[in-house]
Structure 1
Amino acid sequence: MTFTRIAALAATTALTATAAFAQDDRAGWPSSFTVGTASQGGTFFVYGAGWANLVADELGISGGAEVTGGPMQNMSLVHTGEAQFGLTTMGPAAESLAGTNPIAPGLQMTNACAMFPMYQTPFSVTVLSSTGIEDIADIPAGARIGFGPAGSSSDTYFPLMLEALGVEFERRNGGWDDLGGQLQDGLLDVIAFAAGVPIPTVSQLEVQTDVNIIEFTEEEQATIIAQFPVAAFDIPVETYSTLTAPARSVAMWNFAIANCDLPESFVYAVTDIIMSDNARMVNIHSSASETLPEHWDKNTSLMWHPGAARWFIENAGAEIGADMIHGG
């Protein structure tokens, strides 16, 4: 499986011991690591590249982000060990465990373990204001809708959601930056995003043109919640300059994942760096305001990596049973 390296590896000339993790504690640690993210222009890439560089700097190990197809592919890459870490969403994680990941149908991806909670992914619709589309019901039959990279959370769930709401469309895939350009050029009518907010592509579109960010009606929101593994969510008004009020949406939680065979002390160290200083994470991306220890319980599907489980038990009072810890 091929993916493109984007972030330059942050490296040091030696593995510098930190006060918390002495050289003697590094038995079996990898000399480098990668974090599977998603396409450029999406929140996964910005968030994942940021924490990869943070961990690399703190631990003195080469590390960087990889552009991938998103949550489904990341589950596969981490399961096989092609990537040490990755970002996923709870829906795709559950499907991967059940063996229904379209990348490898029938393969139960049980070697990808939960590491830490990230943030909620809202599902939102963006159009050019010039289209006159202001509600889901305004989307014309046969509209060309971009759903993000094939196999992403958006591509997995948003087409089904819109079908449940009676929308007829032509399905298009691509990276978020590419789809944003197609929307501006009139090659797409709608982009259906599933990404942490603010979405870089939407923020850029706001600067370059007039857009409408379409919210769900209460009835549409209820229909989606009844049929899909999502919860109610309001996109805060301050997220985008286009909004004049919170936008009604639905959302799904995201988690960072680790290959289950990584050393416990290594994953504990990585988790500690991410979870111990939220301000640094928020500086990477504002969606990390939800990257908080108390959200450990948002993992509803995955077995925990032993190193991550130990961190949350020791530092967040998490009640994680042995039956939910890999190898426990």
Structure 2
Amino acid sequence: MKLSQMMSAVALVALTATAAGAQDREGWPESFTVGTASQGGTYFAYGSGWANLVAEELGLSGGGEVTGGPMQNMALVHTGEAAFGMTTMGPAAESIAGTNPIAPGLEMTNACAMFPMYQTPFSVTALSSSGIGSIADIPAGAKIGFGPAGSTSDTYFPRMMETLGVEFERRNGGWSDLGGQLQDGLLDVIAFAAGVPVPAVSQLEVQTDINIIEFTEEEQAQIMEAFPVSEFTIGADTYTTLESDARSVSMWNFAIANCELPESFVNAVVDVVMSDNERMVNIHRAAASTVPENWDKNKVMKWHPGAAKWFMENAGADIPADMIHGG
């Protein structure tokens, strides 16, 4: 073959590959944003990290965007103002049902599940001197700190306590502030929804004797029946106070995508995030749970077709057709 013929052949192959790449990327946006939460929190660090990773790997412009968190992210992704976002199962369920306080009555069904992120456990702490060693021990009218107003903890933990028959006075504040109030006797209990170990609890157990209260099997089952939470175990090595693993529940966090995004685009994004967990853990250690086998933790949202395809092909996911958008 002459040199000119060889060059023509190489050019033809390159042209064909380019055309195929262009076809694969049909409808892809040139840039994207990921709705996260406030700076300094896990959502912002985690979300900005995977946004930058995806942008770099796919040759696009993209990044994390500061938002009001899970509820606002559902709204932003549903309307298409953000291509991607992050949410917890509770806010996702409320948004789909039309009870998102940002837009009451609007059923946000155009936000689809994309991939599992990590869990937010629910845990209860009291001073040992209070004599409160179980949920049943919490006296009627107890002052319970539920975290910052409007947080996941403040939204769901009071409802969980009511479900378990606890009568209480509600208190709000930052976790460190609530820890101080507990130690000073201004609160009876703190109910946390936060990654463990919770710094405020770790600080408390250094300064005083505390009880980290687990749910009974019956209480755990009751909460799981009533709320979009999963079974969770707080390991005995999490706190020096714990002598054995503690039974709890957790709410899963999921990345979400606007349901109208191209299937090939979302499939490629999921592939970048889910194919190399070590890279994700380097972004944030919470990503240790960002693994393919956790696809089944979504019981609330319909899957984006591109994401569903990835998990079915790479994780053996058995996703029913009626749980896939457009299916």
User: Do the two structures share a fold, i.e. TM-score over 0.5?
Assistant: yes
How far has the Cα of 1:112 moved from its partner?
Answer: 0.1
**71-80 or 184-193, larger mean C-alpha shift:** 184-193
**1:314, 1:249 → 2: CA distance?**
32
Give the equivalent residue in structure 1 for 2:63: 64
Give the equivalent residue in structure 1 for 2:141: 141
**1:149, 1:308 → 2: CA distance?**
33
Percent sequence identity over aligned pairs? 69
What SS does the corresponding residue of 2:81 show, helix, strand or coil? coil
For 1:204-255, what per-residue CA distance to the aligned partner results, in whole angstroms no more than 9, with x for missing partners?
7469855654322344334423433334321122334553321211123332
Give the equivalent residue in structure 2 for 1:235: 234
Structure 1 pair 148–58 and aligned structure 2 pair: CA distance change class (3 A): farther
Maintained 8 Å contact 1:147/1:158: no
**2:211, 2:219 → 1: CA distance?**
18
How far has the Cα of 1:270 moved from its partner?
Answer: 1.2
How far has the Cα of 1:33 moved from its partner?
Answer: 2.8
**1:182, 1:149 → 2: CA distance?**
13
**1:278, 1:192 → 2: CA distance?**
31
Maintained 8 Å contact 2:146/2:157: no
Structure 1 pair 102–274 and aligned structure 2 pair: CA distance change class (3 A): same
**135-144 or 116-125, larger mean C-alpha shift:** 135-144
What SS does the corresponding residue of 2:253 show, helix, strand or coil? strand
How far has the Cα of 1:56 moved from its partner?
Answer: 3.1
Maintained 8 Å contact 1:147/1:173: yes
Structure 1 pair 313–138 and aligned structure 2 pair: CA distance change class (3 A): closer
For 1:172-213, what per-residue CA distance to the aligned partner results, in whole angstroms no more than 9, with x for missing partners?
456xxxx123225438735432234445x4477469855654
Give the equivalent residue in structure 2 for 1:260: 259
Give the equivalent residue in structure 1 for 2:10: none
For 1:110-158, what per-residue CA distance to the aligned partner results, in whole angstroms no more than 9, with x for missing partners?
11011012233321124577877554434673515133451x4323321
* Matching of residues 192-211 of structure 1 within 5 Å: 192-199=191-198, 201-202=199-200, 205=203
1:182 and 2:177 correspond: yes
Q: Which amino acid aligns with 1:274?
A: V
Give the equivalent residue in structure 2 for 1:3: none
Maintained 8 Å contact 2:176/2:200: no
Give the equivalent residue in structure 1 for 2:73: 74
What SS does the corresponding residue of 1:158 show, helix, strand or coil? helix
How far has the Cα of 1:74 moved from its partner?
Answer: 2.0
**1:116, 1:45 → 2: CA distance?**
17
How many residues matched? 303
Instruction: Judging by fraction of residues, say which structure has more helix.
Output: 2
Structure 1 pair 207–47 and aligned structure 2 pair: CA distance change class (3 A): farther
Maintained 8 Å contact 1:128/1:184: no
1:153 and 2:148 correspond: no
Structure 1 pair 127–196 and aligned structure 2 pair: CA distance change class (3 A): same
For 1:75-113, what per-residue CA distance to the aligned partner results, in whole angstroms no more than 9, with x for missing partners?
112111232212222233222222122322211101101
Gaps (5+ residues) in structure 2? 1-17
Q: Which amino acid aligns with 2:141?
A: A
**1:129, 1:40 → 2: CA distance?**
35
**1:272, 1:32 → 2: CA distance?**
18
Structure 1 pair 41–25 and aligned structure 2 pair: CA distance change class (3 A): same
Give the equivalent residue in structure 1 for 2:286: 287
**2:68, 2:129 → 1: CA distance?**
31
Maintained 8 Å contact 2:231/2:250: yes
**2:302, 2:141 → 1: CA distance?**
42
Q: Which protein is bigger by CA-based radius of gyration?
A: 2
**1:314, 1:244 → 2: CA distance?**
42
Maintained 8 Å contact 2:38/2:66: yes
Maintained 8 Å contact 2:230/2:252: no
Maintained 8 Å contact 2:25/2:264: yes
Give the equivalent residue in structure 2 for 1:37: 36
Give the equivalent residue in structure 2 for 1:221: 220
Maintained 8 Å contact 1:217/1:248: yes
What SS does the corresponding residue of 1:320 show, helix, strand or coil? coil
Maintained 8 Å contact 1:197/1:287: no
Gaps (5+ residues) in structure 1? 1-18
Structure 1 pair 285–246 and aligned structure 2 pair: CA distance change class (3 A): farther
Q: Which amino acid aligns with 2:60?
A: I
Structure 1 pair 229–54 and aligned structure 2 pair: CA distance change class (3 A): same
**48-57 or 130-139, larger mean C-alpha shift:** 130-139
Q: Which amino acid aligns with 1:181?
A: S
Maintained 8 Å contact 1:43/1:196: no
Q: Which amino acid aligns with 2:176?
A: G
Structure 1 pair 297–148 and aligned structure 2 pair: CA distance change class (3 A): same
Structure 1 pair 142–206 and aligned structure 2 pair: CA distance change class (3 A): closer
**1:67, 1:191 → 2: CA distance?**
28
Give the equivalent residue in structure 1 for 2:246: 247
